[in-house]
Amino acid sequence: MSCPVEYWIWLQRTLGTGKDTEELLSYFGDPRKIYEAGRKNLLMSGIINHKIADSLAMFSPSESYTVIKQCENNGWKIITYDDENFPPMLRNLNDSPVVLYVHGDEKVLKSQLCIGIVGTRNASEYGIKAARDISYSLAKTGTVIVSGGAVGIDAAAHSAAIEAGGKTVAFLGNGLGSDYLMENEKIRQKISENGALVSEFLPFTPPTRYSFPVRNRLISGMCKGTIVVEAGEKSGSIITAKNAIKQGRDIFAVPGEIFNKKHAGTNYLINNGAVPVFGVSDVIDYYSDIIMELNGGIIPEVNSNFRMNEEGHAEKKIQVTWETVKKEPPVRKKQEKAQLPEFATENAKKLYGIITEDAKTADEYVIETGMSVQDVLSAITELELYGIVMMHSGKRYGLKIN
């Protein structure tokens, strides 16, 4: 039996958003058991300190009924961590939200391929065109477009996905029902009708300077890849990209003029390993195997007007078309292993022999190698020191991505 929703809301309300709850939930099982454990047992667990114990005592689950009623009155859904419609990509995060409030179709959160498209609010004509064209083309393939529901690049991506007849999701930096950014209310309403508006903040919570960086981890976390279209070097979109890197997600960036500060962030990302997007085909080819699965073994024909020419400008009249594909999809280049030192321990050599770029938990390596948990963890630490292994989201380990 799943844990009653009021206990999940209680846990979210007492700890706050963006907190690491993985260890607490792993130890006690669910929010109801945390609540019923009592202060003494909570402290004895060694997981929380007196300050957090005090926070957990500030509210009771019964106070959650006001929130539940607000959602019922407005037609909003409450999706908890143990709900079947909770986004599977978010469940793997150490700082996964425990409650999501949804206005729209909650089933879209389980979509097989979600791609984030983010960028500046003060977007140029070039940025808007690129965002719209990439979003429109991807939506035509069945990809769900995820962004932040703001003006500029976000709005361009959301609206183009809707025009393509696709689905789109907006993660908000405020609670549902907040009157923030009313000039974008029309597009947010369309998003709810063609996907979902999502927030981990309690209904009617106003935004703060801290809520948007916290929100950004959900945009990248839900997506297999994030495309940064136009962004300054210290923008929120770069925070989203850095979150994606920590989460082990793919990063794409649209190149821009080297003398324009609006593109300093995207050019920086490309210079540091992001996949450059010269046309939407660069993204479609990257996920062609998933897109073919979504479309019965074919890649749909997609027309794109966005293509960078040799001078770095968007060409307006070039058509890029993907016909029905009957060949094997492009194979992604596998990460090559760094060389293992000769003086490495036998346990490190054993783990080195099986580890790949497909990250796995320590328990999975225990099963594969037959080694003890302690030996596996020791070998992982040794390989990390050699620069061969890195930790990915969900405490999984795989080859270090250079």
Residue 90 reports pLDDT greater than 60: yes
What CATH number has the domain bearing residue 134?
3.40.50.450
- Strand spans (E) along 11-137: 77-80, 99-104, 114-118
- Could you give the residue ranges of the DSSP H alpha helices within 103-184? 125-140, 153-163
pLDDT beyond 50 at 318: no
CA 342, 345, 349, 352 dihedral sign is negative
Number of domains in the chain: 3
Over the stretch 15-43, which tens digit does the pLDDT of each residue have?
887 777 778 888 888 999 988 888 888 88
CB 223 within 8 A of CB 247: no
User: Which domain covers residue 359, as residue numbers?
Assistant: 346-399
Tell me: pLDDT of 324 over 50.
no
pLDDT of 135 strictly over 70: yes
Domain holding 364: CATH number?
Answer: 1.10.10.10
Is residue 320 in a domain? no
The answer to whether position 248 is within a domain reads yes
Given pLDDT bands bounded at 50, 70 and 90, which one contains residue 50?
confident
Same domain for 177 and 137? yes
pLDDT at 380: 87
Same domain, 33 and 161: no
Same domain as 366, residue 277: no
Establish if 333 belongs to a structural domain: no
Tokens 């950014």, located at residue:
181
Most confident of 118-127, 304-313, 337-346: 118-127
324/321 Cα distance (integer angstroms)? 10
Residue 335: pLDDT band (50, 70, 90) is low
The answer to the question of residue 89 being in a domain is no
Predicted confidence at residue 305, as pLDDT, reads 59
Same domain, 367 and 233: no
Q: Does residue 328 register a pLDDT over 70?
A: no
38 and 148 inside one domain? no
- Please indicate whether residue 210 or residue 169 has the higher confidence score (pLDDT): 169
Cα 318 from chain centre: 32
Residue 79: inside a domain, yes or no? Answer: no
Does residue 380 sit within a domain?
yes
Question: pLDDT averaged over the chain?
Answer: 85
- State the pLDDT confidence band at 105, using cuts at 50, 70 and 90: very high
Higher pLDDT, 314 or 245: 245
Is 173 within the bounds of a domain?
yes
Q: What is the pLDDT of residue 162?
A: 96
Shared-domain flag, residues 167 and 119: yes
Q: Are 268 and 185 members of one domain?
A: yes
| pLDDT higher than threshold 60 for residue 334 | no
Give the pLDDT band of residue 326 (cuts 50, 70, 90). Answer: very low
- Per DSSP, 396 falls in state E
* Residue 283, pLDDT above cutoff 90: yes
Same domain, 116 and 43: no
**The last residue of a domain, from among 315, 333, 355:** 315
Same domain, 212 and 361: no
User: Are residue 160 and residue 35 in the same domain, yes or no?
Assistant: no
pLDDT tens sequence across 209-261 = 889 989 999 999 999 999 999 988 878 888 899 888 889 899 999 998 888 88
| Whole-angstrom distance, CA of residue 362 vs CA of residue 105 | 36
User: What confidence category does residue 390 fall into, taking pLDDT thresholds of 50, 70 and 90?
Assistant: confident
Q: From the CB of residue 391, how many other CB atoms can be counted at a distance below 10 Å? A: 16
Whether residue 286 lies inside any domain: the answer is yes
Same domain for 292 and 176:
yes
Q: Out of 293, 315, 337, pick the residue that ends a domain.
A: 315
Q: Do 163 and 40 have their domain in common?
A: no
